[in-house]
Copies of this chain bind each other. A is one copy, B any other.
Amino acid sequence: MTPVQYLKKTEKKRLSELFTFLSFPSVSAKSEHKKDLVACAQWLTDHLKGIGFKTRLVKTKGHPLVYAEYKAGKNLPTIMYYGHYDVQPPEPMELWKSNPFKAEIRGGAIYARGACDDKGQTFAHIKGLEAVLKTEGKLPVNVKMLIEGEEESHSVNLPAFIRKEKKKLDADIVVVSDTAQFSKDLPAVTFGLRGIAVAELFVYGPTRDVHSGTFGGAIANPINILCQMVGQLHDKNGHITIPGFYSGVKPVSKWLKSQYKKLPNREKAFLKELNIPAMHGEKGFSTYERMWDRPTLDCNGIKGGYQGEGAKTIIPSFASCKITMRLVPGQDPNDICNKLEKHLKKLAPKSVRIKVDKGGGAKGVVVPADGPWLEAAGRAIEKGFGKKPVFMKEGGSIPIVVDFKEVLGLDTLLIGFGQNDDNIHSPNERFRVTDFERGCRTATYLPFELASVKG
């Protein structure tokens, strides 16, 4: 029996195991789910042990880390797989068509929080490796597997672990499936990621909400001021106005521009899929450049004052706004947060008090876009998907990839099994069953292709 035949034979069981994995509400951002994360990590550890890995449930200051190892032989290459078992908050709940933590299949897709990001994709590798082990009796490579519980909370504790266990984590290449295919039926290897910097702005006015008739016009309104401040962070051309924000940002190279021109244009598809009247972004850059090569500043949440039914005629006592900035190589998240804070302090009038919480973040990273590892990954994908992959970048951030490079000296292969319309970070997150299957198949070929690089 080949690994792929094994996959076919075990399809039902595999899906049922994935559904169990998806049933844990492992929302790392919410402290109320602390126990659910521990339970999920424990289940995963047990599952990996059952397959034949040596496992370890690593305690951290936050949520635990699952570590698994397989030793094939000293002279064989070592592949480090990285994934995460934590998920984004499911809210707004009312928009989900089914329970986010009770997976169900509708129209050929698995619907659940984490179905794609990143439980489903991580599980595809686990099941691919299991198929090889069960049919060949061994793996052609050494495997180290790191599955963390804090990726959606900026991987707070993983870098310390990597630094501490630096020697133990020695490997040849890292494999991460936490990105997307280029589009339906067009798989991709991703060679660049944006970084991220996280901040929150608080604007404080009167100690209590006050009557907007009595005081309106005579004191600062924190919402008005917040809007004025945030509204000034972009100029008319969509450039970010924070002094020094772009220092270190390299121009988009001619080579990149020519690569992007080869990719199918997706603007029309985006307009339709997102139901938006027009694209929007920085003047002078194409959509792919805006998504992959230019830094951003997005408000992720804003609040202040009365949000209930009807009107409440108040000047609120405060307003706040969550901000994330996507960074590109050459930008440092702490430096960017400091520049944002300095700029906001300059923008704030004397009539309010402000506070900027700086959450740090991660640098952007670029993997060499050629080389034998990338080619080997391409071959595995071609076998698993039945189609040659394209080479692209990704606008999102996988902060830990920077640490793999900077601390361990390792490049990362980014192999996305999911798709851009899989609603990750949104209600009704999904993972098409065919993508899960193609992912599992790719995962059976990948160790052999990677083994051939060093062979």
Chain A residues in contact with chain B, CB under 8 A?
A: 28-31, 88-89, 91-92, 95, 153-154, 180, 194, 196, 198, 205-221, 223-224, 226-234, 270, 274-282, 287, 290-291, 294-316, 319, 321-322, 324, 326, 349-353, 359, 394-397, 420, 423-428
Contacts and interface: CB of A to CB of B under 8 A. Distances in A.
B322 A306 contact: yes
Contact of A350 (B278, B301, B427): B278
A-B CB proximity, top 6 nearest: A213-B396, A231-B231, A29-B310, A280-B351, A301-B305, A223-B299
Q: Classify the secondary structure of A's interface with B.
A: loop
Given A353-B277, A394-B213, A153 B424 contact: no
A354 to B, nearest CB: 11
A311 B154 contact: yes
Given A299-B221, A299-B305, A274 B426 contact: no
Contact of A227 (B92, B206, B213, B227): B227
Contact of A311 (B215, B306, B322): B322
B298 A324 contact: no
A25 to B, nearest CB: 14
Given A278-B350, A300-B312, A300-B313, 4 more contacts: A31-B309, A218-B291, A226-B302, A227-B227
B281 A218 contact: yes
A228 B234 contact: yes
B424 A211 contact: yes
Contacts of A287: 218
28 contacts: A29-B310, A30-B308, A30-B309, A89-B306, A89-B312, A211-B425, A211-B426, A212-B425, A213-B326, A214-B396, A214-B424, A216-B395, A219-B274, A226-B227, A226-B302, A227-B228, A227-B229, A228-B230, A276-B352, A280-B351, A298-B315, A300-B306, A300-B313, A300-B315, A301-B305, A302-B319, A313-B324, A313-B397
Contacts of A352: 276-277, 280
A223 B276 contact: no
Contacts of A95: 208
A104 B351 CA distance: 35
B180 A326 contact: no
Contact of A279 (B300, B351, B397, B428): B351
B303 A307 contact: yes
A214 B395 contact: yes
Nearest to A200: B311
Contacts of A88: 312
A301 B303 CA distance: 7
B218 A227 contact: no
B303 A208 contact: no
Nearest to A117: B211
Contact of A208 (B227, B308, B350, B427): B427
Nearest to A282: B217
A314 B220 CA distance: 29
